[in-house]
């Protein structure tokens, strides 16, 4: 199974996100992440879906999504060729200053940001292509992650 | 001109060429009904006993005519009652527009009386649906609904309209009806490639489905088949597309299709699937289906291509258009050897049921119905054994003369559908074939055909059991007949009479023929003929689910 990024241009109608997620549920496709946002055109919404699938399934997903009445365009995005970002926020537990220093090294290695330093935790941010975000999270897993969230991918 | 929302709805329906709607009134559609009532000389309304019946009637009307069927239901239970009808139409790609009322916009989302979020409920069973929130959008949304229902691969569209929109007023002007779009550009080289495959093939087989009916391509398909001598078999949905008795018509294929059709597909070197989806009732075993053949698929819906069975080559397009273009490049051929081989299989390996004069054998009954009702009759079935027997022996000669719920397999479909067909074609005979199980589901609609004086003839194959499930229980569950023995005490003669129709009972074919002749004389009321059959009758041949040609059961 691979991760595929689909970028959808859809009509900004009531329930459009439900329609798309319902299609995924009904056909048994796995959504890894989904993000929706308005565009410069108030009638249009951009949705980026990351799907876990194989080549055969992704072809089916592509066709099924394209068939929806409110979907105007579907493009398969390659994270290396398109502009595509995901934001991750992590709050990491720290016992001592050594840990904080190690965390800050990892963060600067990935060109992330330290958002907040508390006596017992460090909160960090990374905005990058999804695979780098994956590596970032893996690298930080050696510490005790207290909380974490990712926005899902958005792509142009 | 200023009109109320309710009037706008009626005006758009008329503008779209709708002359009849099926439905049931209620609180949130009361204004729509008022407008329908005031326009009854321009548009007819058929009131059923239950909204489900209305939805199947709209579906049956659409199946019989090819036009879009319209059903109207109130909010809440009215809307949920048409859900099965919508799903039935969706699975068989039938054009339908369902209009539901809903609570007023300010009452929405508060669990108000009779409030259901029907747009959410019908999300996965409609081609598209709308919840109209502004009166300004009402007319165009309804127009869109008709366009979507008919274009490309047809299907049901639901439009949910809050009650306050039907009361509010807005400017209305008629617009020209947009012709539904069916044209998909097809590459000439793809057509040439397929023609080449056909020309080179020694053992080609065509397998076609309901898409041929939607595309109005029956004559074109027949031309292709006869020019190139390609034997063709069909799905349940495509019964009647080719005439019964045509030498190249191999009949139905699949779980209960002819052994020879399955054999032909098994031995073919080229299989052309036209307007069909390789469903699990045909390609019972996806891996072994047409194992030796180059598989080609022609369909208007891209999502159908390679969905169930991976093909070697496909053409996305309107079936009729593709076949028309194909005719330029195919070389006429006789393929004598291949056709003789198949003819031999038809004689030697096909299942031939044996008659028994003392009881009603289902195949004999269907043959008698077919003979007595004539070629022009529309046969409508419910779901189960009687449906398969009817498909196997009903000898249809034209498309849209056999109406059945294929994809969803909706028991209780047929009485409503028969009403729709009879309303569409008052001068044609409508023969409704059902089982005792299916009939009990929606027999309430008998009152509708009594009210509208529709002489629909119902034939109940009464075996006192849920025959199809019982057959599976016999074959796969060591005869443990779990809750399939109905043994209802219903007196069908009295039942028919109680509703205002005529009832008959037959235990032999001779008795049936007599009853049927009498039923044909009832010009202004429906008839019900109960035909007693044995509970152990099976539908044969049968390919067990998941099985292939090698697993066919014939006795």
Domain end (from A51, A77, A103): A77
Q: Is B163 a catalytic residue?
A: yes
Distance (Å, whole) CA A97 – CA B57: 76
Ordered DSSP codes for A65-84: HHHSTTEEEEEEE-TTTS-E
pLDDT in tens, B1-35: 999 999 999 999 999 999 999 999 999 999 999 99
Is residue B269 within 8 Å of residue B292, measured between CB atoms?
Answer: yes
Tokens of B70: 């319209």
Is residue A133 within 8 Å of residue A150, measured between CB atoms?
Answer: yes
* SS3 state of residue B406: coil
Contacts of B133 in chain A (CB under 8 A): 14
Distance from CA of B380 to the nearest CA of A (A): 30
Tokens of B486: 């109905």
Task: Look up the CATH number of the domain holding residue A142.
Answer: 3.30.70.1150
State yes or no: pLDDT of B182 exceeds 80: no
Domain encompassing residue A117 = 84-155
State yes or no: pLDDT of B228 exceeds 90: yes
Residues belonging to chain A: 156
Q: Which of B38, B40, B105 is nearest to B75 (CA)?
A: B105
State yes or no: pLDDT of A127 exceeds 90: yes
**CB atoms B306 and A59 under 8 Å:** yes
Residue B238: the pLDDT is 98
Distance (Å, whole) CA B82 – CA A128: 49
> Do A93 and A50 sit in the same domain of this protein?
no
Q: What's chain A's Rg over C-alpha atoms? A: 18
pLDDT in tens, B78-93: 999 999 999 999 999 9
Interface probe, candidates A11, A14, A43, A58, chain B, greatest B C-beta count within 10 A: A14
Residue A96: the pLDDT is 85
Give the residue-averaged pLDDT of A25-51. Answer: 94
pLDDT band at B48 (very low <50, low <70, confident <90, very high): very high
Contacts of B119 in chain A (CB under 8 A): 15
pTM of full prediction above 0.90:
yes
Residue A80: the pLDDT is 83
For A8-75, give the secondary structure using H, E and C.
EEEECCCCHHHHHHHHHHHHCCEEEEEEEEECCCCCEEEEEEEEEECHHHHHHHHHHHHHCCCEEEEE
E-state strands within B322-366: none
State yes or no: pLDDT of B183 exceeds 80: no
Residue A81: the pLDDT is 83
Provide, rounded to the nearest whole percent, the portion of chain B with pLDDT above 90: 97
Distance from CA of A28 to the nearest CA of B (A): 12
* SS3 state of residue B278: coil
Provide, rounded to the nearest whole percent, the portion of chain A with pLDDT above 90: 82
**CB atoms B302 and A22 under 8 Å:** no
Q: Does B510 touch chain A (CB under 8 A)?
A: no
**CB atoms A18 and B303 under 8 Å:** no
Contacts of B306 in chain A (CB under 8 A): 56, 59-60
Q: Does A66 touch chain B (CB under 8 A)?
A: yes
CB pairs under 8 A between A and B: 31
Q: For residue B131, what is the nearest residue in chain A, using CA coordinates?
A: A14
State yes or no: pLDDT of B178 exceeds 90: no
Residue B251: the pLDDT is 96
Q: Which of B349, B355, B353, B386 is nearest to B468 (CA)?
A: B386
Tell the residue number behind the tokens 């059903």, with chain if given.
B71
**CB atoms B302 and A66 under 8 Å:** yes
By the 10 Å C-beta count (0-12 exposed, 13-18 middle, 19+ buried), B270 is classed as: buried
Mean pLDDT of chain B: 97
Residue A98: the pLDDT is 85
Q: Does A59 touch chain B (CB under 8 A)?
A: yes
Tokens of B138: 């009402």
Distance (Å, whole) CA B246 – CA B95: 30
Q: For residue A23, what is the nearest residue in chain B, using CA coordinates?
A: B124
Contacts of A17 in chain B (CB under 8 A): none
> Do A88 and A28 sit in the same domain of this protein?
no
Residue B181: the pLDDT is 73
Spatial neighbors of B351 by CB under 8 A, at least 6 apart, are: B258, B259, B540, B541, B554
What ipTM was reported for this prediction?
A: 0.88
Contacts of A63 in chain B (CB under 8 A): 302-303, 305
State yes or no: pLDDT of A21 exceeds 90: yes
Give the residue-averaged pLDDT of B157-166. Answer: 98
> Do A22 and A52 sit in the same domain of this protein?
yes
Helical H segments across B453-535, by residue range: 467-476, 492-499, 509-521
Q: Does B301 touch chain A (CB under 8 A)?
A: yes
pLDDT in tens, B105-153: 999 999 999 999 999 999 999 999 999 999 999 999 999 999 999 999 9
> Do A92 and A144 sit in the same domain of this protein?
yes
Which is the catalytic residue, given B67, B114, B133, B192?
A: B114
> Do A73 and A102 sit in the same domain of this protein?
no
Distance from CA of B123 to the nearest CA of A (A): 7
Q: Is B512 a catalytic residue?
A: no
Tokens of A94: 């720290």
> Do A55 and A24 sit in the same domain of this protein?
yes
Domain end (from A45, A77, A109): A77
> Do A11 and A57 sit in the same domain of this protein?
yes
State yes or no: pLDDT of A26 exceeds 80: yes
> Do A62 and A110 sit in the same domain of this protein?
no
> Do A105 and A63 sit in the same domain of this protein?
no
Give the residue-averaged pLDDT of A108-113. Answer: 96
Residue A128: the pLDDT is 94
Domain end (from A27, A46, A77): A77
> Do A58 and A124 sit in the same domain of this protein?
no
Distance (Å, whole) CA B442 – CA B49: 9
Q: Which of B240, B226, B236 is nearest to B64 (CA)?
A: B240
Q: Is B468 a catalytic residue?
A: yes
Task: Look up the CATH number of the domain holding residue A69.
Answer: 3.30.70.260
Distance (Å, whole) CA B489 – CA B497: 16
Spatial neighbors of B135 by CB under 8 A, at least 6 apart, are: B5, B8, B165, B168, B169, B170
> Do A73 and A130 sit in the same domain of this protein?
no
> Do A72 and A98 sit in the same domain of this protein?
no
Of A22, A60, A66, the CB nearest to B124: A22
Residue B180: the pLDDT is 77
pLDDT in tens, B532-544: 999 999 999 999 9
Residue A97: the pLDDT is 83
Is residue B99 within 8 Å of residue B68, measured between CB atoms?
Answer: no
Contacts of A22 in chain B (CB under 8 A): 123-124
Number of domains in chain A: 2
Distance (Å, whole) CA B58 – CA B95: 9
Q: Does A14 touch chain B (CB under 8 A)?
A: yes
Mean pLDDT of chain A: 93
Give the residue-averaged pLDDT of B397-409. Answer: 97
Q: Is B402 a catalytic residue?
A: no
């Amino acid at each position: 199974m691979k991760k595929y990024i689909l970028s959808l241009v859809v009509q900004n109608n009531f329930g459009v996100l439900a329609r798309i997620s319902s299609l995924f549920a009904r056909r048994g496709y796995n959504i890894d992440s989904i993000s929706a946002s308005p565009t410069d055109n108030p009638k249009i919404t951009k949705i980026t879906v990351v799907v876990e699938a194989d080549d055969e399934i992704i072809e089916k997903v592509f066709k099924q999504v394209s068939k929806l009445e409110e979907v105007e365009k579907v493009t398969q995005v390659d994270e290396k060729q398109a502009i595509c970002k995901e934001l991750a926020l992590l709050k990491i537990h720290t016992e001592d200053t050594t840990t904080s220093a190690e965390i800050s090294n990892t963060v600067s290695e990935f060109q992330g940001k330290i958002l907040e330093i508390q006596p017992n935790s460090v909160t960090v941010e990374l905005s990058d292509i999804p695979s780098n975000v994956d590596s970032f999270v893996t690298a930080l897993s050696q510490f005790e992650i207290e909380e974490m969230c990712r926005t899902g991918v958005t792509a142009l | 001109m200023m009109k109320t929302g309710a009037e706008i709805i009626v005006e758009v329906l008329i503008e779209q060429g709708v002359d009849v709607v099926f439905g049931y009134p209620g609180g949130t559609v009361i204004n729509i009904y008022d407008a329908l009532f005031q326009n009854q000389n321009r548009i007819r309304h058929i009131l059923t006993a239950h909204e489900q019946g209305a939805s199947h009637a709209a579906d049956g009307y659409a199946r019989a005519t090819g036009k879009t069927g319209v059903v109207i239901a109130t909010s809440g239970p009215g809307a949920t009652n048409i859900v099965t009808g919508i799903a039935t139409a969706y699975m068989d790609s039938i054009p339908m527009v369902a209009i539901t009322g809903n609570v007023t916009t300010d009452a929405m989302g508060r669990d108000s009386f009779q409030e259901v979020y029907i747009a959410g409920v019908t999300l996965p069973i409609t081609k598209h649906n709308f919840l109209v929130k502004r009166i300004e959008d009402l007319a165009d949304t309804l127009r869109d609904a008709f366009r979507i229902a008919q274009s490309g691969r047809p299907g049901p569209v639901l439009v949910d309209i809050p009650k306050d929109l039907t009361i509010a007023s807005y400017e209305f002007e008629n617009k020209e009806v947009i012709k539904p779009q069916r044209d998909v550009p097809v590459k000439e080289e793809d057509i040439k490639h397929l023609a080449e495959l056909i020309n080179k093939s020694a053992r080609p087989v065509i397998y076609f489905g309901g898409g041929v009916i939607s595309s109005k391509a029956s004559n074109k398909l027949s031309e292709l088949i006869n020019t190139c001598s390609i034997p063709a078999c069909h799905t349940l949905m495509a019964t009647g597309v080719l005439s019964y008795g045509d030498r190249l018509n191999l009949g139905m294929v699949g779980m209960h299709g002819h052994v020879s059709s399955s054999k032909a597909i098994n031995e073919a070197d080229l299989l052309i699937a036209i307007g069909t989806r390789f469903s699990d009732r045909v390609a019972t075993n996806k891996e072994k289906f047409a194992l030796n053949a180059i598989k080609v698929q022609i369909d208007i819906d891209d999502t159908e291509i390679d969905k169930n069975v991976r093909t070697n080559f496909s053409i996305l397009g309107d079936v009729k258009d593709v076949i028309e273009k194909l005719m330029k490049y195919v070389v006429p051929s006789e393929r004598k050897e291949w056709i003789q081989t198949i003819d031999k299989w038809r004689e030697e390996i096909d299942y031939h049921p044996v008659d028994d004069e003392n009881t009603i054998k289902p195949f004999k009954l269907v043959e008698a119905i077919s003979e007595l009702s004539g070629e022009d009759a529309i046969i409508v079935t419910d779901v189960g054994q009687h449906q398969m027997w009817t498909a196997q022996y009903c000898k249809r000669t034209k498309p849209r003369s056999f109406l059945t719920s294929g994809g969803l397999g909706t028991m209780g479909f047929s009485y409503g559908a028969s009403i729709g067909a009879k309303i569409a074609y008052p001068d044609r005979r409508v023969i409704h074939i059902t089982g005792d199980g299916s009939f009990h589901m929606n027999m309430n609609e008998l009152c509708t055909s009594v009210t509208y004086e529709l002489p629909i003839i119902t034939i109940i194959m009464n075996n006192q059991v849920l025959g199809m499930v019982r057959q599976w229980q016999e074959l796969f569950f060591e005869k443990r007949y779990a809750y399939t023995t109905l043994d209802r005490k219903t007196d069908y003669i009295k039942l028919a009479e109680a509703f205002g129709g005529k009832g008959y009972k037959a235990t032999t074919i001779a008795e049936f023929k007599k009853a049927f002749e009498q039923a044909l004389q009832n010009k202004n009321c429906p008839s019900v003929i109960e035909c007693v059959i044995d509970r152990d009758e099976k539908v044969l041949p049968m390919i067990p689910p998941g099985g292939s040609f090698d697993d066919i059961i014939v006795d």
